[in-house]
Amino acid sequence: MIHEYCDSLYQPGTDGNLIIQKRKGSPIYVLQGKTKNGFRQVFFELALAKIRNKSALPKDFLAVLVAHRYFERLEDLIHREPFEKMNLIDRLDAHEEESDVSYIWNLSIRDTLITRMSNRFPEYPRTPTELQPPEVIHYELMERRYLLTEIANAIWRDHPNWFKVQTTFEHLRKKYLEVIEKLPIQTALKEEWQSRIQSVALVLPGSIPEIVDQDCSTTTMNAYYYSNLNVITVCAGDFNSEDIMPTLAHELSHALDNDRSLYLFFKNSELSKKLGEINQDLCSDKKKSLSCSDWAKFKNSSDKDILALSKYQAPLRDLHRCLKKEPTTGKLDSETIQRFASAAVRDKLKRLAEEEAFIRISQSKLPLGNGKTVPNPSHLNPCHYMQETWTTEELNSELPMLTAFAAEYECSNIEDPAERLRQSIQYMTTLFEKIEGSMITSEGEFSERKGLVEEDYSSSSSERFADFMGSHLMASYIDDLQSTWDRRMTFLAGNSWQCSGPSLASAFPKETAVLRRYLRDSHTDGDDRKKDVFLTPLRQTLSCEKDFEWKECSFPKLDEKP
C-alpha cells in the first residue's frame, strides 16, 4: 500500500502533487512537488503569504523591502512562464531574477539588523566585524533572532494551514491522554507521561527567539521537539505540503522519550538548583554582591550533588534497548567516561578562551579601540556576556561554566590577577569534568553523544521511541474515522515525506540501506523507517496484513522488573 502510494505520488504528470479525496470531510492536498512554472510548491505558498501579509511585517524591515520593489518583483517572479515556453535568454533572465529577489530579502534582513544595532550601539557601524566585542556579537545574534521571529509571526500567524496544525495538535493531545491510560505500564509512569503531554506547547515556526530558524519558518519540510523548552514547532514547508498528523504524533512522543527524561532529571537536580541560585545572584538586574559563604557551601556539597547526577535509570529499559538503532558492544568504564568528559569540557573551554570570555567577565573595566577605558557591563555577570538566561540552559552548557568561573573568581583571595584567573579556570574545569562524567554515566548506553555512538558505546533510542509511541497514537486517532478508505488516505497523506522521487535511492533501496548504516543518523530511513511506524495497532486499524519481516518492539509485562 505504501509503495503503491509513493509510486502514484511521483508518477509522470503528478510529480509529487496529489489531491486525496476522502469519503467524509475535506480533501487533503499533498504538495511535495513543483508548480508548472518550476517553483517548489512550498516556496510558492511562502511567496503568496509574504505578499498577502506584507503590512504586518516589521515597519523598518518593510521599508527596506519596499525601497527595493521586492513585492512587485516577487509577484512577477512567481507568475513567470513555464520553462518549456522560454528560450535561452528568457531562462537566463528568470534565474537572474530569482537570485535577485532572494538577495533583496536577505539584504533587507541585514540592513534592518545593522540599523537596530546602531540604535543600541552607536559605534557599531564604524567598527569592523572582527573588532566587535563578544557581548555585541552575542547581542547581534539575539537581535537577529527577534527580527526573524517578528517576520515569521507576520507571515504565518493567520494562515489557514497553521490553524489546521493547531486543531490537529489539540485533538492528538486529548487522544494521547486516552492512549496512555490504556498502556500496560505502572500507574506512576502513566501519571508522569500524561502530565508531560499536557504541558507541551505548540508554537509557530520561528515564533520565539530561542528556536528561530530561517529555513524552518520558510520552506523546510520538518518538525522539531525542543527538550529544554518543551515545545513543538512544525516547519512552514511541512504544514504547507501534506497532512501533518503523523508528524505531530511523532514530535509529541518526544516529550516522553529518554532525552526529555534526562533533561528533567539533570535540570531538577540539587546541583542545578544550587548553581542556578548562584547564577541569579551574579546576573540579577539589581546587582547584589554574591554571598561567598553561599559559594563555599555549594563547593562543599558539590561532590555529593554531582554523584547524584549519575543515578538516573531509564524507565522501560528493555523497551529502549529494543528500540536502539544499532546494537552496542562497548562497555563504559570509568576511564572511558573520564576521557569523554574531559574532551567535552576542553571543547567548550577552547571556545570561551578564544573569545577571551574569562578576561572579559573578570575585569571591571575594558579598553576601547581609541585608548579609553569604560565600565564593563559583563563584569562578573555571565548572563549579560552570553545574552542568555538560566531558565532553559542545560546543566553542562557554557553559561553554567561561566557562572562557576565568575563565582570562584569573585570569592578568591588570591591577589595576583593572572594566578587568580588561572586557578578560577582550573576549578571550573575540574568541576565540570566531574559533572560531565556523571551525566555520561546516566546517559549510558542510550547517549546521543557523537563520540560514544561512533565508538559503539551507545545508541540513542529516542527517534525510534517517538516512532513507536507515535504509531500507537496514530492508530487510536485514525480509528475514530468511520471508513477504512479515510483511515488509509489520512495515514498515507501524512507520510508523503517518506516517498522518494525518482533517484538512486528509490531505484536501489536495498543498496541505499547498506550505505545509510555508515551515516550514523539517529533516524532509521527508507523502508526501515516505514516498518518502524507500521506497528500492529496501526496495521489493524488500517485493515492491513503484514507482508514484511521486522523486529517489532513491545512494552514489557507489568510484573517484569523495570
pLDDT surpassing 80 at residue 219: yes
Residue found under cell 560514544 = 452
| Residue type at 321 in one-letter notation | R
> How confident is the model at residue 88, as a pLDDT?
95
> How confident is the model at residue 471, as a pLDDT?
96
CB atoms closer than 10 angstroms to residue 59? 9
Cα-Cα end-to-end distance for the chain = 37
Of all residues in the chain, what percent carry a pLDDT higher than 90? 74
CB of 308 within 8 A of CB of 269?
yes
CB atoms closer than 10 angstroms to residue 440? 25
Which one, of 172, 243, 206, lies nearest residue 469 by Cα? Answer: 172
Cα-Cα-Cα-Cα dihedral sign, residues 71, 73, 75, 77 = negative
Geometric angle at alpha carbon 328, from 326 and 329, rounded to 5°: 145
Which one, of 228, 504, 556, lies nearest residue 388 by Cα? Answer: 228
Please report which confidence band the pLDDT of residue 193 belongs to, taking 50, 70 and 90 as the band edges.
Answer: very high
Q: Which three cell numbers stand for residue 24?
A: 467524509
Please report which confidence band the pLDDT of residue 165 belongs to, taking 50, 70 and 90 as the band edges.
Answer: very high
Higher per-residue pLDDT: 13 or 430: 430
> How confident is the model at residue 244, as a pLDDT?
93
Please report which confidence band the pLDDT of residue 511 belongs to, taking 50, 70 and 90 as the band edges.
Answer: confident
DSSP symbols for 279-336: HHHHH-SS-----HHHHHHHHHHHHHHHHHGGG---TTHHHHHHH-SS-------HHH
Residue found under cell 527508507 = 526
Q: Residue 86, class by beta-carbon neighbours within 10 Å (0-12 exposed, 13-18 middle, 19+ buried)?
A: middle
CA–CA separation, 250 vs 244, rounded Å? 10
For 361-418, write each residue's pLDDT tens digit. Answer: 999 988 876 677 878 888 999 998 887 888 888 999 999 999 999 999 999 999 999 9
> How confident is the model at residue 369, as a pLDDT?
66
Helix and strand numbers, DSSP H then E, in the chain: 26, 7
Of all residues in the chain, what percent carry a pLDDT higher than 70? 96
Across the range 195-205, mean pLDDT stands at: 97
User: Residue 203 phi/psi, 5° resolution?
Assistant: -130, 145
Q: Which three cell numbers stand for residue 237?
A: 514547508
CA–CA separation, 382 vs 222, rounded Å? 34
CA 89 to chain CA centroid, Å, is: 42
pLDDT surpassing 80 at residue 557: no
DSSP state of 87: -
Q: Which three cell numbers stand for residue 126?
A: 564604524
Q: Which residues contact 455 (CB under 8 A, 6 or more apart)?
A: 330
Q: Convert 485-504 into a string of H (helix), E (strand) and C (coil).
A: HHHHHHHHHCCHHHCCCCCH
Q: Which residues contact 273 (CB under 8 A, 6 or more apart)?
A: none
Bridge partner list, 17: 31
Please report which confidence band the pLDDT of residue 212 belongs to, taking 50, 70 and 90 as the band edges.
Answer: confident
pTM exceeds cut of 0.85: yes
CA–CA separation, 484 vs 481, rounded Å? 8
Ranges of beta strands (E only) in 171-312 are 201-203, 223-226, 231-234
For 514-556, write each residue's pLDDT tens digit. Answer: 776 665 555 556 678 888 888 999 999 999 998 888 889 999 8
Q: Residue 221, class by beta-carbon neighbours within 10 Å (0-12 exposed, 13-18 middle, 19+ buried)?
A: buried
Relative to beta strand 201-203, strand 223-226 is unpaired
Q: At what angle do helices 88-120 and 134-156 cross, to 10 degrees?
A: 120
CB of 492 within 8 A of CB of 1?
yes
pLDDT surpassing 50 at residue 203: yes
CB of 275 within 8 A of CB of 400?
yes
Size (the chain), residues: 562
pLDDT surpassing 70 at residue 265: yes
For 39-90, write each residue's pLDDT tens digit. Answer: 999 999 999 999 999 999 999 999 999 999 999 999 999 999 999 999 999 9
In this structure, of 26-35, 63-72, 102-111, 279-288, the range with the lowest mean pLDDT score is 279-288
In this structure, of 294-303, 318-327, 335-344, 549-558, the range with the lowest mean pLDDT score is 549-558
CA–CA separation, 148 vs 208, rounded Å? 9
pLDDT surpassing 50 at residue 561: no
Across the range 193-210, mean pLDDT stands at: 95
Average per-residue pLDDT for the chain:
91
Q: Which three cell numbers stand for residue 460?
A: 540513542
Higher per-residue pLDDT: 545 or 305: 305
Is residue 309 classed as helix, strand or coil in its secondary structure? helix
> How confident is the model at residue 45, as a pLDDT?
97
